[in-house]
Amino acid sequence: MTITAKSIIGIIIVLLIAGVLWWIGSQSVQAPQRELSGESVPLGSIAGSEADTSDASLDAELSALDLQMDALASDTVVVNQGLNDTPIAQE
């Protein structure tokens, strides 16, 4: 294939992907907008709002994030080993 043919195919693929993404975005339903009443609610009056609950939730999410980052690091090591692998000459 010539460079021109490769360029045309690449442009077509990019346009196709952009069209699909635009179509998916236009199909999503947006949540209805709420009107704010202008009234403020004191933080202590919200049912079930405790600092310990929030901290525990953040700690749980942080530990889950740490596990995901560790998995990503190990995956990166495996990918790098695969990319740096030299093929064995076959006779």
DSSP readout, 51-70?
HHHHHHHHHHHHHHHHHHHH
From CA 28, how far away is CA 79, in angstroms rounded?
A: 35
Average pLDDT, the chain: 79
What is the pLDDT, as a whole number, of residue 53? 66
pLDDT in tens, 19-45: 999 888 887 656 556 555 555 555 555
